Structure 1
Amino acid sequence: MAKTPSNMLPLGTPAPKFWLKDTNSNYNYSIEDLRGDKGTLVMFICNHCPYVHHVMDEVIMIANDYRVQGIGIIAISSNDTDKYPQDGPEYMTQFAFENKMDFPYLFDETQETAKAFDAACTPDFYLFDSGDKLVYRGQLDDSRPGNNIPLSGSDLRNAIDGILYNRSIPENQKPSVGCTIKWKAPM
């Protein structure tokens, strides 16, 4: 389990554009299609990462708590499925079903979306305000597999609450830590 931190895309960055297939519905979506009225959470996850497995229950609770409050929730998998077939679209559908993911789980086959977000690890979290400007990127909370700190989602929840309740969101944010995105070999 290699620990890779987030790259920490600069705050204020506009939400990168994408057009990706949702493995839950088989429809293609853009960020404009899925954005929330008050903000949008984009998560880079994958099916096999132990860091993702560790946080999924809290991720589902966050999605359920905040979608009804106007936050769009989007998950994206960008791993190289030639080398990691367990992260392929058919397995993404199964993973979403098993984890009761009631939000789009998009497949970034070309990895261009992950590159546009400067995503580095799974899980990696990006929160955009209603104007599609980045206000938070970083960790869910301090919990990691094996460190005995209970999951709370506190860092991400505080940032989402900042959007919803017009509170300041600290600029000093801790990077997420997880497995590296499995990049395709350059051609």
Structure 2
Amino acid sequence: MASVTALHPPSSTIARLGSNCRSLVSPSPLPVYRFARRRRNSSTKLLVVRAARTESKSVSLGSRAPDFELEEPLTGNVWKLEDFESYPALLVMFICNHCPFVKHLKKDIVKLTTIYMKKGLGVVAISSNSIVTHPQDGPVFMAEDARNLNYPFPYLYDHSQDVARDYGAVCTPEFYLFKKDGRRPFELVYHGQFDDSRPSNNVTVTGRDLSLAIDCVLSGQPIPPNQKPSVGCSIKWHPEGNV
């Protein structure tokens, strides 16, 4: 499978990091709200709705990247883990279309991955959400999303949800960074957040945590062990009996 290429220059929204890999910054508040208006008896009331919030679960660093074989709705191409064997590092992202946490980061995910794909990073995104419960996350809309945002990486659909289970993914967005050492299998070195920014917490999106980890991997330096979990919407699993 031909490797994907980056097209755009670095953005100022991505924090510039020095060559030294330093420890990650401290946590910030995580309130996330959505607002909707409801009309009752000719009066308008403001409702406060909290978006579902799930943290990524601990996964053993050093574990090997599970295999996958998934279709890319935009092109119809089928991608496998082995298609990325030539890369020194691989970023696997679990995202989707509708999640407000993902929407909050989408443009900056594109900017960050575009920068690092130029430096040799392999990148793939996977959506595992059920189209039974969330049809807006289905392949047709995935292709539209990838086209509109000009994703520089393949965006694959995990219909069976087996790949999400194999990786231990529970939320969107969720990030897994693997390194490659010669002929050895990909080894997990980072499983954490993009940065401290969340919808409505007024923290600027920088991609600092993830970009720091990528810088360390590509420069052969150790990654700080204090990795903060990613926070987002829970993966929408198929209702029982619907696959």
Which of the five TM-score ranges fits, normalised by the shorter chain? over 0.9
Which amino acid in structure 1 is aligned with residue 170 of structure 2? A
Report whether the alignment pairs 1:67 with 2:121. no
Could you tell me which residue of structure 1 aligns to residue 232 of structure 2?
Answer: 178
Q: Give the C-alpha shift of residue 185 in structure 1.
A: 2.2
Task: Determine helix, strand or coil for the equivalent of 1:138.
Answer: coil
Larger helix percent = 1
Q: Give the C-alpha shift of residue 71 in structure 1.
A: 0.6
Q: Give the C-alpha shift of residue 36 in structure 1.
A: 5.3
**Does the CA-based 8 Å contact 1:41-1:72 persist in structure 2?**
yes
**Does the CA-based 8 Å contact 1:60-1:101 persist in structure 2?**
yes
Q: Give the C-alpha shift of residue 113 in structure 1.
A: 0.2
Q: 1:129 aligns with which of 168, 179, 204?
A: 179
**Does the CA-based 8 Å contact 1:14-1:133 persist in structure 2?**
yes
Distance (Å, rounded) in 1 between the aligned partners of 2:233 and 2:209: 19
**Does the CA-based 8 Å contact 1:6-1:177 persist in structure 2?**
yes
Q: 2:219 aligns with which of 165, 168, 173?
A: 165
**Does the CA-based 8 Å contact 1:47-1:87 persist in structure 2?**
yes
Q: 1:147 aligns with which of 201, 204, 212?
A: 201
Distance (Å, rounded) in 2 between the aligned partners of 1:149 and 1:36: 36
Report whether the alignment pairs 1:138 with 2:188. no
Distance (Å, rounded) in 1 between the aligned partners of 2:234 and 2:85: 26
Report whether the alignment pairs 1:79 with 2:129. yes
Report whether the alignment pairs 1:45 with 2:95. yes
- List gaps (5 residues or longer) in structure 1: none
Which amino acid in structure 2 is aligned with residue 178 of structure 1? G
- The number of residues matched between the two structures is 187
- Output the TM-score relative to the length of structure 1: 0.97
Which one has a bigger Cα radius of gyration?
A: 2
Q: Give the C-alpha shift of residue 186 in structure 1.
A: 3.0
CA deviations on 1:108-146 (whole Å, 9 max, x unpaired) are 000000000000100000000014100000100000000
Of 72-81 and 28-37, deviating more is 28-37
Report whether the alignment pairs 1:4 with 2:54. yes
Aligned pairs (5 A) from 1:88-99:
88-99=138-149
Could you tell me which residue of structure 1 aligns to residue 39 of structure 2?
Answer: none
Distance (Å, rounded) in 1 between the aligned partners of 2:125 and 2:86: 14
Distance (Å, rounded) in 1 between the aligned partners of 2:219 and 2:79: 28
Q: 2:160 aligns with which of 110, 120, 124?
A: 110
**Does the CA-based 8 Å contact 1:36-1:70 persist in structure 2?**
no
Which amino acid in structure 2 is aligned with residue 116 of structure 1? D
CA deviations on 1:89-115 (whole Å, 9 max, x unpaired) are 000000111111021000000000000
